[in-house]
Structures are given as structure tokens and as C-alpha cells.
Amino acid sequence: MNSSIQSRLIFSASIILFCFLGLAGFVLDTAYQKGAQTALNDRLQIHLYSILGKAEVSKNNRLVMPSNLSEPRFSQVYSGLYAYIFNHKGDVVWRSSSSAGETIQAVSNLKPGQKKYIQNQSNGGASVELHYKAILDNAFSEPSVFEFVVIESTSGVDNQIAGFRYVLWQWLGGIGLLLIIIQFWIIRMNLKPLRHIVEDLEKIQTGDAEHLGNHYSDELKDIANTLNRLIDNERTHLKRYRNTLADLAHSLKTPLSVLTGIYEQTNLDKADQKTIENQTLIMKQLVDYQLQKAAAKGHQTLMLPLNLESIINQLTSSLDKVYIDKKLTITTNIDKAIKFNAEKGDMFELFGNLLDNAYKWANTSVRVDLQMVNNNGQELRIIIEDDGPGILTEEIDNVLQRGIRADEATHGHGIGLAVVNELVSLYGGSLTSLKSSLGGQKWIILLPNA
């Protein structure tokens, strides 16, 4: 089956429509048949009462009927309307002129005042019989029992039903075709916003537009906004890769020039060897830093929120083993209900660098606090502090400087905190450094929860 939404909707709607029209047609046809049958029964009853009103009993208990009845069909042979009267013995004592050549039997178990309809199927066609047993009195008030029978062929009713059925299905078929055409038009009009999104995405792909517009229906605006955020994330990530490559190429120029100058010398002393070692380390740190910065992705629109407590537990468990000799006391205060929208690798990088720095400089204890706060919107507040010597105020800016060259990094702190600063900026947050009540460094990070 065609995989387009439009084809599926039209096919599904057509199936439902045909089922509904078929059921409606069946109900109407059944109702009309019952109505026609009821009308036939009512006519038989009227004819019966008409004959019953004309019947008289003579003094010698013989039935007397007029030569002509009010219904002329009783006088026409093969008119399809017949009448009989039987005595209490079941013998025919009167029959209409139209019943020539027809024979029927009385109903023996019929009680006086009781009537009975019988469906009859014979070679002459289908018919309905109405049997009624009545008690008539003569002039001397002597009662006599007679059975009155009126029969009418159903051919007229069958023709009437067939005509109704033909017209009914013609109309339902026409209405069904008209509704399918209307459905096709309505579905096509309602799916037009989806085609607009596809067209706008093609424009973005060809460079004719930067974002999806805001002219879509209310149901599609959230999709368009999500796609726009995804496009912005990918563009930011691509831009970061390009800038990182440019920064890396620029940063490697100096150590490469130094190594090239030393390589041209004939003899290398210990100072030169030390320079080579330092410059190699610098390049390694540069590559590590730039790759970490390039790998950061920021808020992930299409990913499930992260459980930050499990990330903290994994990192502290690993760092406890690395710094087992220091026997540090780790205190954590983490809101278990926190769910933060972010890329998992970014969070490992951010917490990993901060905790590693705290473990490295702490004397006896490290404290971690994670809470959601409401500062004009939901924000994640991260506090990590230690009881180490801390960082001098004049060195803070140098430690957090973006794009810092490894040879300019503050001694002992490497590039980890610069990576943290890059990640915080990427997530649109803020990073603050304070003196901890424990005596060491206290880092406060606020990240908006997208």
C-alpha cells in the first residue's frame, strides 16, 4: 500500500465511509421492508373488517354475502386479492370471484376472536393470508362460527421494495462518491502545512533559508520549533568544529616552530631535550583541550533527560579509587528528582573536570550539591567545593580563559577548568568562583534547563 499519509487517510476514511453507508443502507432497507409488510398486514385487516361488516346469517343459519364488495379487486380474477369464508366444519361457504382456481385450507386450531397471519409460498408466487374466526348471530340470536380469510399477493410489495432498494443504493453510491471527493479535498488542504514544512526544509538544505517559518498550524508549531532548535544545535556544533580546527592550527604554530628550530641543530644538549619534552606535552594538551571543546554538543532536544545522580556516583566511585591514598570524605546533596536535558558526554566532562580538580587539591573533604532552583525559569545549580588551598583570585581569569594555550595554563590546573568554562558557556549558563566555607575553592554553576 502507498506509504504517503494522504493515501492512508483517504483509504482509511473511504473504508469507514463505505462501512457506514453500507450499514445505513441495510438499516433503511430492513426498516422499509418491515414498513411495507406492516402496511400489507394493515390492508388485509381493513379488507377483513370490510367483509366482516357485509356478512349476515339467515334464519336457517346460512351465510349471506352481497354480490359485489366495496373493493373491486375481489371481483377480478388473478387480481392478487382473494377472500374466503369457512364454516365451523372447515367447508368453504363463500369465496370471492377473484379466487377462481385458488384453493386454501382453514386453520383448525383458531379460536373465536383470534386472528393469524400466514406467509404462503406457492407456484403462483408469495402471498400473505389473514385468518380470523368470528361468531355471527342470526335474527333469533343463534350463534354460528365462521372463519374469514383474506389473501393478498406480495408481488406488489416486492416490486415496491425492489424499486426503493434501487433508488436507495443509487443515492447512497452517489453520496459516497461525493463524500470521497470532499474527503480528498479536505485531507489535501489539511496536509498542506506538512508540505510547507518539507518545502521549507528543502530551502534550508539549498541555503535559501536558515530556519523554518512560524506560519504553520498550532499542531505543527512545536514540531517546527523543535526542528529549528535541532538545526541551530547542529550549526553550532559544526561552527565549533571549524573554530576548533582553526584554533588548534594557530596554537600548534609556536611549539612546531620551536621543535623545527631544535631539529635543525647538530647536537642536542639536556636543555634542548627538556624543551622538546615540554613542547610535546604542550601539543598533547592543546590537542586534548581542542578535541574536548569540539566534542561538546549542548542541550539535546531529541534525547531523554539525564539522571545526574548516577553520573556523579560513577565519577566519585572512580575518583575514590584514583585518590585512595588521600582518604577523602565525600559529601553529596543531590535532588533525586532532577532530570536535566543535556548530552551525557558533556555532563561527564563537566563534572569529571570539576571533581578531579577538587579531589586533586582537597586535604580531607569534598562537597557536591545539585538542586533545581527557580530564577526566572528552572535552572540547575551545581556547587562543588573542597578544603584545599584554593586558587588565587588573580589566577581565576587565566584558568578559565577560553582558547587558552597550554603553555599559558596555570600551573597545576591544566586545561580542565577551561573546558568546564566552555561547556557552561555552551549551555548558556554561568560559572562563579568563591572561597569555600571548607577553606578551599567553591565553584557555583547555573545551567538553564531547556
pLDDT at site 366: 93
Q: Which residue's C-alpha cell is 639536556?
A: 270
pLDDT at site 403: 43
pLDDT at site 377: 59
pLDDT at site 60: 79
The residue ranges of the chain whose pLDDT is under 50 are 1, 301-302, 402-413
Among 76, 38, 36, 68, which residue's Cα sits nearest to residue 51? 68
Quick one: CATH architecture of 27-160?
A: 2-Layer Sandwich (3.30)
Residue pair 297/229 in contact (Cβ under 8 Å)? The answer is no
Q: Are strands 56-57 and 63-64 parallel, antiparallel or unpaired?
A: antiparallel
Q: Return mean pLDDT, the chain.
A: 80
pLDDT at site 131: 93
Q: Which amino acid is at 97?
A: S
Q: What is the dotted CATH code of the domain comprising 308-448?
A: 3.30.565.10
Q: Which helix (H) or strand (E) holds 329?
A: strand 329-334
Residue pair 182/190 in contact (Cβ under 8 Å)? The answer is no
Q: How is residue 11 written as a grid cell?
A: 483509504
pLDDT at site 150: 93
